[in-house]
Amino acid sequence: MLSAHRNLRRPLRALHAALLLLLAASVFHVSTGTAGDREAQSQAQPGRQQVDHLLSIAEQQFEIVKLLIKQERFDRVLPEMRKIFELDLPERFEEHIAQSAVLVADRLVESRQYGLAHEVLDEAYARMTGDKNRVSLLKMKAYVYKSEEKYDEAVATFERAVEMEKRLIRP
């Protein structure tokens, strides 16, 4: 069981790095051209600055959550994750929110906080509009069940994820 969990952590660590890079790229986008070009670009995208600030807040909240887990202050994890969920980021960032929930759940599993991992995943799932992101959350939920040695629930959850993913292939 531990080797399977270690195998899960490798891609999740890579996913974590990718998530941070995507958030950083979104927050600290590099603009080329003259000052006039940049001003015209910012006027063409009036909500861009607000989205940049929201992404920065999400990134900081994610770091807070990771630190809280490291400090074993688990009572604050879900309220802090809700702050990310409630930022009302544009739909195109939904995948990043799902990925952060998966990463947080993985860290909670490492700390044997299975119930809290399920709560984080359930709250994220309820806020998702895309089935692709729901599939990712269901797969992680199944891994949490597997870590708990609740194999029947793991199988049922993996089956739900497979059915949902099949619908993505053949709508």
Instruction: Judge whether 43 lies within some domain.
Output: yes
pLDDT in tens, 64-123: 999 999 999 999 999 999 999 999 888 899 999 999 999 999 999 999 999 999 999 999
pTM of the model: 0.74
Instruction: Judge whether 169 lies within some domain.
Output: no
Count of domains for the chain: 1
Residue 20 has pLDDT above 50, yes or no: no
Instruction: Judge whether 33 lies within some domain.
Output: no
Entry field: residues in the chain = 171
Instruction: Judge whether 87 lies within some domain.
Output: yes
Closest CA to 62 of 27, 90, 29, 31: 27
Instruction: Judge whether 166 lies within some domain.
Output: no
Half-sphere exposure at residue 56, Cβ-oriented, CA atoms within 13 angstroms: 9
CA gap 149, 45 in Å, rounded:
49
Instruction: Judge whether 165 lies within some domain.
Output: no
Closest CA to 106 of 126, 121, 85: 121
Name the residue range of residue 83's domain: 2-27+38-129
Instruction: Judge whether 142 lies within some domain.
Output: no
Angle at 30 between CA 22 and CA 41, to 5 degrees: 110
In the prediction, which pLDDT does 41 show?
47
Instruction: Judge whether 163 lies within some domain.
Output: no
Please report, rounded to a whole number, the percentage of residues in the chain having pLDDT higher than 90.
64
Closest CA to 126 of 112, 141, 113, 114: 141
